[in-house]
Chain A
């Protein structure tokens, strides 16, 4: 057939084949990213379309973002990242691309990030993650992942937002709120004993004016009681302030719990008998916990004084025992009990529970007790008894090696 073609036709055909080939190669090159510009000849002359030009606004945008931007393969390999992300993790760009993104979060968060990446192939997701920066440093961040479609196939786009500033603001706001709450509680709690004291002094003045000596002495006694009450309150408020700001330092040493409970019971025996309550102790010996004796004494005192306050007129049982791992202290009164809905609340710092108000309590003792016990790695709970009365159970770890856990 060829032989029959005119040479001019054959040349034209060759030229068309060449152009077709060239067009196919151009298309391949575009697909594989080897071409960065197209020259299109038209009636107005030649016009150059660069692919970089088309991407340019997006590149500028991504590079100018404060947020880290990364694209990931569906199995979490970093295909691309912007310089903000490189700054966040403190590595040069070329040492980041090609690595598993999980290397940039702490080991304990890797499963979560892997799950997130798996699920982000189908839907946009976000989660807070810790981003490892320079050795030893880390940033709180939010990863926002969404499926994207790249030439290479399905991928995941991730925007990584640094939350440090937001977290700092949140912490500052929480601290301010806590301080306000604390001041409100402090002034509120001080108001009643202060009122009583002011009025008591007024009474004293009248007794003195009348020369009513018989009345003066009991009134002075009452005024002293009120001052002591204010002093105790101030101490407690300081404790609360220290506990709330995490500044309470525990002085840990092996501590004989039986001894602690005995001392507390002795101290409260007069108050208990004045309010018609017999303290009945059942203490197993040799129960040693690693703890701060002074603070444990305070915790037990608060629970016992609570029992005496609400269980007036009835015996109070104090039992110290142990199971294999923990020391268990049970303080049980037979007083008014605690409404079921208040059982958990009574350990709250600023909870104004019915019962504590009813008895003019400071309302902070149980909070302090629960914080102290918590900082020793123990627990405290309250139970209401069906036949009346309340039962407080403190559990403390026995192991001499157990470090006191800080409760955040």
Chain B
């Protein structure tokens, strides 16, 4: 059972007029090879990517204030898994507006997850980039 949310409420207040800086993506992935590769692809495609290895590290990075425009979230994570991370994110006023795309293997979504979109592993770079383009919060209205 999976619940998805197609449209994310706009956070126009976070969108600064004339903000031309690169779109920021936080990759939360515990597999170091996969995490690095994802970041490399994003960087190469003009995004600013940062990498957290679990839910706790991701929350720490977010609370340090460098808010991304999208979070790419693996579900099976040590310390704090994808569900736990999402709960904590939604409880935090400053974080809850950041769109989340889940990147997960079939069978890993063992309980419903509230996310903007779910991508299945293995994902191609085209699908990955198209999805990020579609859901990041600075996309044009």
Contacts and interface: CB of A to CB of B under 8 A. Distances in A.
Interface of A: 184, 187-188, 191-200, 202-203, 206, 222, 225-226, 229, 352, 354-355, 357-360
A271 B54 CA distance: 25
Q: For chain B, give the interface size range.
A: 20 to 34
A196 B121 CA distance: 9
Contacts of A355: 78
Contact of B44 (A191, A203, A226): A203
A202 B78 CA distance: 28
A194 B79 contact: no
B37 A199 contact: yes
A358 B33 contact: no
B34 A196 contact: yes
B79 A198 contact: no
Contact of A199 (B32, B38, B106): B38
Of A187, A196, A197, A229, most B-chain CB atoms within 10 Å? A196
Nearest to B54: A358
The majority secondary structure among interface residues of chain A is helix
B77 interface: yes
Given A187-B106, A188-B105, A355-B78, A198 B34 contact: no
Contact of A203 (B32, B121, B125): B125
A14 to B, nearest CB: 95
The majority secondary structure among interface residues of chain B is loop
A195 B78 contact: no
A136 B79 CA distance: 54
B122 interface: yes
B30 A360 contact: yes
B33 A357 contact: no
B133 interface: no
B33 A226 contact: yes
Interface of B: 30-34, 37-38, 40-41, 44, 53-54, 76-79, 103, 105-108, 121-126, 128
A206 B54 CA distance: 29
B105 A187 contact: yes
Contacts of B31: 192-193, 196, 360
Of A194, A203, A358, A359, most B-chain CB atoms within 10 Å? A358
A184 B32 contact: no
Contacts of B41: 199, 202-203
B37 A222 contact: yes
A129 B6 CA distance: 60
B30 A196 contact: no
A188 B107 contact: yes
A187 B124 contact: no
B61 to A, nearest CB: 16
Given A194-B122, A198-B123, A358 B37 contact: no
A225 B33 contact: yes
Report the 4 A-B pairs with minimum CB-CB distance, sorted nearest first.
Answer: A202-B125, A191-B105, A195-B122, A354-B78
Contacts of A359: 30, 32
Contacts of A352: 76
A358 B105 contact: no
Given A193-B33, A206-B44, A358-B53, A199 B128 contact: yes
A196 B124 CA distance: 9
B30 A191 contact: no
Given A199-B38, A354-B78, A358-B79, A192 B121 contact: yes
17 contacts: A192-B31, A193-B33, A193-B34, A194-B121, A195-B123, A196-B33, A199-B37, A199-B41, A199-B122, A199-B125, A202-B126, A206-B125, A352-B76, A358-B79, A359-B32, A360-B30, A360-B31
Contacts of A222: 33, 37
A308 to B, nearest CB: 14
A140 to B, nearest CB: 35
Contacts of A202: 41, 124-126
Given A188-B107, A195-B103, A199-B122, 5 more contacts: A195-B122, A206-B44, A354-B78, A357-B77, A358-B30
A360 B32 contact: yes
